[in-house]
Structure 1
């Protein structure tokens, strides 16, 4: 992890230290921040992120525990994988506050309640057989269970010469509510 060379975007916060990646760090999202696209004309990409630049072909896995005091419609935070090729595309997964409660599995509105009913979840993105799989990691009777929630088949379809940013994001699309503090811990990023 010491060679992660993390960078911050859309925030004045410095990237976390190696110890913070394990023990926890907070990413603050101001009101009006978002990472959302509705083609052909709407693109909002001003969410605070902390990422590592890598070649997309080298990405293997990312994992993090994310939590916050989710309270405002569309509050969100989690993992993000951005592709910098022709136009910026991204895949995000984590928690989003909708219908009065936090949900996980966000990216294309495949929503599911957080299993423990709390405000946090561990999520993982993994390259498997040419696709990107998203999992919720649950603890059951002391054992880790990887619950599949999404397969993104196009993620690595055009990976040659594509630069990627892998890391975490936070946003509060609503204009009201003050800053959202999203807490991340146990962040892991694997690449070849």
Structure 2
């Protein structure tokens, strides 16, 4: 037995007993365990026959009661019609392929949602990146601080009054006299 596996015994009175937790469970409990990633095996308490497939199918059937969702009717009909081994193998291959495609799509969707979540959780960073533009890297903190000091130094220089130095006035050239008329 796999140590990570949860073994559930099914008794003739249809009660289910989780041997690892030493407690009786129901179908919802088993579904929860499977959804949480636990490897659940259901065995008949008297014969030790593996009933996992039957119980998991029962969980799926119970989950779809009263809901318009579930497996498409045409697929269910084909499952019943495919009584030979080749037909069952093809349908199982098809279901596995469809489920694998679904899981890949879910993975892509989850990574897209994670990207959106990152953007949504940091609107300040998004705005900063937008204003900065894609080609301009952020200045390192020490460079930014240096620029602040230089600007402050320039502003203080501009604020100081300038010393006036005596400028030499250009010498005036004598005016030419105009003739009197």
TM over 0.5: no
| Greater C-alpha radius of gyration | 2
Higher strand share: 1
- Relative contact order higher in (CA < 8 Å, ≥ 6 apart): 1
TM-score bin (small chain): under 0.3
Question: TM (normalized to structure 1)?
Answer: 0.19
